[in-house]
Structure 1
Amino acid sequence: MDYISVNTKMNFAFKVEVAVIKDSIQSIFNNIEYPIRISDLEVVSNDKHSNVSISLKYKIGQFSIFSFQTKMIVFLIEQKIYSLINTKPININLVFEGVFNEK
């Protein structure tokens, strides 16, 4: 079981499993307005179990809003991670794989 240890600065700490973080990131894309498909989602904790690095591949529905969607992905992931472990992730690695046809 891989985990992230979160210090709350209130004389206690709690642990968040990496699997929970991965599921939370996946849920972002299930509830999103613009069609985005992700694959190969990896969430890796650092040596001290205090933060994570994220890597994923993604496809978008419309290339005309590529920049907006990419920035939105980064923002949503950062916000989700911050809500879980009280810090932004060390690294977010996005690999753009192209456009898919949503029909």
Structure 2
Amino acid sequence: MKQVDLYGRVRHAVLVDGLNGREAARVLGIDPRTVSKMLAFSVPPGYRRSQPVRRPKLDAFTELSIRSLRQKNWFQRSSGIRRNRYLKDCVMSMVMRAASRL
């Protein structure tokens, strides 16, 4: 990502000093497409996601499975491996029951 001071220098060179985009790119040592992108925004746009965040497929069932496990007092056990295996089995059985209702 380009520094903010370079961003300001590009905008000043083109908008105030009157250089065109190619001249400003040559003087500052950057690509002309970068200059055009810098002129498109008044401030650096920052990080933008190109796609929305992908959620797990079973995300809709996690609250249901956690509620079910809390009713069975499963979270009081100490073995993490056993708990994870049981959680996976519970979620899969809930998913299969929900799919069979459709």
Which structure shows the higher helix fraction?
Answer: 2
Task: State which structure, 1 or 2, has the greater radius of gyration over its C-alpha atoms.
Answer: 2
**Comparing both structures, which one devotes a greater share of its residues to strand?**
1
The structure whose RCO (Cα within 8 Å, separation 6+) is larger is 1
TM-score, with structure 1 as normaliser: 0.31
Q: Report the TM-score, using the length of structure 2 for normalisation.
A: 0.32
